[in-house]
Structure 1
Amino acid sequence: MAKKVMKIEPVRQKVIQQLRPKKRVCAYCRVSTDSAKQHTSYVAQVEYYKAYIEKRKDWEFAGIFADEAKSGTQVGKREEFLRMMKECENGNIDIIITKSVTRFARNTIDSIEAIRKLKSLGITVYFEKENISTISEQSEQMLTILSSLAQGESEIISTNNRWGIQKRFRDGSYNISCVAYGYTKNDNGEITIKEDEAKVVRRIYSEYLNGKGSFVISRDLTKDNIPPVRTAEKWNDCVVKEILQNPIYEGDLILQKTYTTEVLPFTKKRNRGEMPQFFIKDNHEPIITREQGEMVRGILEYRRKQMNMDDSGKYQNRYEFSSKIMCRECGGNFRRQKIYIGKPYEKIQWSCKNHIENSRMCRTKPIREDAIKTAYITMWNKLASNRTFILNPMLDPLKNMRVSKEQEEEIENLNNRIMELTEQSHILSRVVQKGYMDSALFIQKQNALNIEIEEIKKKRNSLFDNNGFETEIAGTERLLEIIKYNPEITEAYDENLFLHTVNKVLIGSNGEITFRLINNLEITEYANKGGGKA
């Protein structure tokens, strides 16, 4: 007996066409990094693509996404590309037009991953130069080949450039493009002393050898209105330490302090022994003596060991309050200080860096570490004890606050439409169960309903995403979960609990200690001589 086979027609494209008669089409391009040319290039491409898209009656212009033409080799650095992908995920784009495969991405993996993701969302990418559309079955194979060729071209160019630089390193003919503070280059490209800056370098070495720390030196340079180094906004201890550790001031030159990775995505890294370095002794006139340089290195090494720092100059034991405490008055970060060192009542306090540099600029006084910890314990116990009155009621209002009145009405309409379609789906199910409808026709109609529900949900989610309080909602849910597993009153300060629940600590000039929690809720306690109090 022959089997009866019934064909169920595909309905996705038909339903999408009914919901969106016009395809929303955008363009992706890269514009010149030159500020003067960038505007002209952007305007020209907007005009071109707008006219190109508006020629089609079934297309609707959905904007242009343009990144600066720094590099097509790394998608992660292209903000407009990522914004375009987000718009695609939100269901606001149907077709993307771009000039060529090389304009889209020169990294094969990133290119194919992006195209596959777009195809899974039902979005077509059209490459003008190659005349390839990702809607075709053979598109991925062609695009893989073209992307690989573009990536290979980038890697070959990079390899050739690297080989040329390495050759100049070896024979000592490499001319550094940017010389260190204290030096300049003459017409022949030779490194020569810039006397006004060299005077500052000598002062830094002299003061460091006389016992001053890098922070104090930077503070004094700022007070004396000395212009900072060309690559820094102002003098700070890091800039001073960089000068103290640079052998260029002894007349020597080290080449290849940094290197670029050989394969895509190209990444610039500090050379910590991965690549050879080239040392040229007595390359140019020194600013300091070799004896001074040797003594400074000895002091730096001693202080590094005393402060428990690793070879890169970073603290091995970070404190839980590091980078967490900010000044409410001036926005400055707080630094850790020891007071009454060596005495039985030695204490730790945190001070605003701007107050340290100039007390007239910031009035916020230092605060004791034990006061912050006591205030945190008080705050946390209040929050945990009153979670049903503070945290629980926050969730629904936060979700409701995510949209404007117009968007709220639109979301309500979309919700009503989803309910209508869901009800239609239930009716269809009851009809087919009673035998009033053929199974093949039922599946076809059911698919059409599911696709329409899916599209409406995408539109609704897009409204939420554009005006959401995701951080606040997720943070509140996380706090409730932490309290659920730590319901008891906290008597002792818990470092892990602090790190998992607090984003920032804001210190006011009148002793206010405000804890900004992971859901952006701010709770204030007050410090007194004994610590924190409500």
Structure 2
Amino acid sequence: MGKKITKIEPVKQKQDTGYAAPKRVCAYCRVSTGSAEQKNSFEAQVQYYTRFIEEKPNWTLVGIYADEARSGTKVKSRDRFQQMIQDCRQGKIDLILTKSVTRFARNTVDSINTIRMLKELGIEVYFEKERVGTLSQKSEQLLTILSSIAQGESESISTNSRWSIVRRFQNGTFVISSPAYGYRKDENGNLIIQSEEAAIVRRIFDEYLGGKGSYAIAKELQAEGVPTIRTAKSWQDSVVKWILQNPVYEGDLLYQKTYTTEGIPFTKKYNHGELPKYLVSDNHEPIISREEAEAVRQIYEYRRQKHRMDNVEIYQSRYAFSGRIICGECGSTFRRQKIYIGKPYEKIQWSCRQHITDITKCRQKPIREDVIRQMFVSMWNKLAGHAEDVLLPLLALLKAVPNDMEQEQELLTLEKRIQELKQQSHWLQKVLSDGDVGSAVFIERRNQLDTELEEISRRQQFLKEQNLMEQEIAQTEYLMTVFRTRPAIIEEFDEELFRLIVERIRVYPNRLCFELKNGLELEEHYGKEVQ
């Protein structure tokens, strides 16, 4: 029987007549600084696009999305931009108008990825200055080049700005934007004392010199409701330490304590010696004397050294339990505390951080460190003598579970592909350095490699999390080796043994749950009188 072939003619499509069909249109505006000149530009853009869209009879104004004083180098930092993208995903927008590529984004990767995502949704972005719409066939190559130019301009501006700032650091003419707690700026940008805040600064120095620690000072200030410094949400010991170590309160200014990385995306980092710092002495009126500041530094250094050289047993046990004790009620970690300080019956206890902050959110009571040690000794002595009776059946059960050969093969294939992608990325970087490939092609291919690598890595991680049986088998065999080579009975807490077998401890009322390295959980109970 012969085959019969029927030709099905294509459905005739209506010719595209530009923007003749009804469209839901929005505009995106952005200015990079908060200056008066830029603010006028910002308001002018909003007014222009509102009028422009409303004058089109076949367009419906969805809204004007405008970010004021936001950088274009990071899409995530622009709230209204993110809102616009969310509305696009919800199908509320057909067309986005914006002034130019530089207004949309100055980060090439962000710009291209966002445009591609919008194209997949059938949403066009039209750049007025460049007269380019993203749905045209040749738009991607052109926009890649334009975005690269915009990114280069942004990096060049940043470099020039950093050079200008460093020059002002060197000649002492730099004016800080936000004065330190205790100071404010006059009309000429000079630092003058803010009396209410300065009183708090003096109190912090006086109490520290009087013997109080930074944690105790912060706790008192927080309890009294004293307004905190502008960059902190609450009074913490780290905030108090920052005040105690800041030379600004002696009348000096230290420039370039932080710096911004050179490449996009620009990231702010603390200067730990990577770049020079500039100290301007006697810059303004001090709040405390240099003698007081020097005394504070000596006390701070003495306490730091004393903490290092303190009782070795206490020092080690702190690190043995730190981060390993979990609250069974709220899930917070426990913090080490001293109670009855200076008394003959001084003790160390561990308390839930949530309980310390707000007792109404967690009512888990503290537990003394000596109790935790006793409970570990008890657990070890019960398990070590019968370790093989407990662990061997568990090991046999784990090994009896059949392996998923397909999953293992997929993991091997994924690992091989990851290595291939890394080699391709290395090769691509080399040909770019040799000038054998253009920047636009390089960026497009690199984005493809990065996307595939991210997807494969995510799949690999998922499969590894599903394949936990091998890890449990390995950890169980490891524990059996530990118990075979260590004493069956111990008289006192042994930190090394604790580190070898315990992953974490969960604290419940009157009981501790020790989770071993292989996931096995063992409980120990204690009476109320030892809390």
Name the TM-score, length of structure 2 as normaliser: 0.56
Shift of 1:386: 12
Check if 1:149 corresponds to 2:149: yes
Matches within 5 A, 1:325-336: 334-336=334-336
CA RMSD of superposed structures (Å): 6.0
In structure 1, distance between residues paired with 2:211 and 2:163: 45
User: What is the aligned counterpart of 1:486 among 460, 472, 475?
Assistant: 475
Q: 1:287 to 1:85 in 2, by over 3 A?
A: closer
Does the 8 Å CA contact 1:65/1:80 hold for their aligned counterparts?
A: no
Matches within 5 A, 1:36-75: 68=67, 70-75=70-75
Check if 1:183 corresponds to 2:183: yes
Shift of 1:304: 3.0
In structure 1, distance between residues paired with 2:144 and 2:290: 56
Per the alignment, residue 101 of structure 1 pairs with 101
The one-letter amino acid of 1:283's match is N
| Structure 1, unaligned runs of 5 or more | 1-8, 15-21, 310-314, 393-469
Deviations 1:313-369 (A, max 9, x none): xx9999476556565667865312367999999986421346557879964321244
Check if 1:298 corresponds to 2:288: no
In structure 2, distance between residues paired with 1:45 and 1:484: 65
User: What is the aligned counterpart of 1:477 among 457, 463, 466?
Assistant: 466
Does the 8 Å CA contact 1:124/1:133 hold for their aligned counterparts?
A: no
The one-letter amino acid of 1:483's match is E
In structure 2, distance between residues paired with 1:290 and 1:344: 38
Q: 1:137 to 1:186 in 2, by over 3 A?
A: closer
Shift of 1:244: 0.6
Shift of 1:241: 0.3
Shift of 1:104: 3.8
Shift of 1:122: 9.2
Shift of 1:140: 3.5
Shift of 1:215: 0.6
Per the alignment, residue 351 of structure 1 pairs with 351
Per the alignment, residue 434 of structure 1 pairs with none
The one-letter amino acid of 1:268's match is K
In structure 2, distance between residues paired with 1:317 and 1:110: 48
Per the alignment, residue 127 of structure 1 pairs with 126
Does the 8 Å CA contact 1:327/1:507 hold for their aligned counterparts?
A: yes
The one-letter amino acid of 1:141's match is Q
Matches within 5 A, 1:89-488: 97=96, 99=98, 100-112=100-112, 126-129=125-128, 130-134=130-134, 138-307=138-307, 319=319, 322=322, 334-337=334-337, 349-353=349-353, 355-356=355-356, 363-367=363-367, 368=369, 369-370=372-373, 477=466, 479-487=468-476
Deviations 1:41-71 (A, max 9, x none): 9999899999999869xxxx9x999685522
Q: Please state whether the residue corresponding to 2:234 is helix, strand or coil.
A: coil
Deviations 1:166-185 (A, max 9, x none): 33333323222221122223
In structure 2, distance between residues paired with 1:507 and 1:43: 61
Name the TM-score, length of structure 1 as normaliser: 0.56
Does the 8 Å CA contact 1:387/1:480 hold for their aligned counterparts?
A: no
**Aligned length, in residue pairs:** 406
Does the 8 Å CA contact 1:96/1:123 hold for their aligned counterparts?
A: no
Per the alignment, residue 401 of structure 1 pairs with none
Q: Please state whether the residue corresponding to 2:336 is helix, strand or coil.
A: strand
In structure 2, distance between residues paired with 1:97 and 1:350: 56
The one-letter amino acid of 1:151's match is Q
Does the 8 Å CA contact 1:511/1:526 hold for their aligned counterparts?
A: no
Per the alignment, residue 525 of structure 2 pairs with 528
Shift of 1:211: 2.2
Shift of 1:245: 0.3
Does the 8 Å CA contact 1:28/1:104 hold for their aligned counterparts?
A: no
Shift of 1:260: 2.1
In structure 1, distance between residues paired with 2:81 and 2:476: 45
Does the 8 Å CA contact 1:337/1:349 hold for their aligned counterparts?
A: yes
Per the alignment, residue 386 of structure 2 pairs with none
Give the number of the structure with larger relative contact order, counting CA–CA contacts within 8 Å between residues 6 or more apart: 1
Q: 1:138 to 1:487 in 2, by over 3 A?
A: same
Deviations 1:396-429 (A, max 9, x none): xxxxxxxxxxxxxxxxxxxxxxxxxxxxxxxxxx
Does the 8 Å CA contact 2:208/2:296 hold for their aligned counterparts?
A: yes
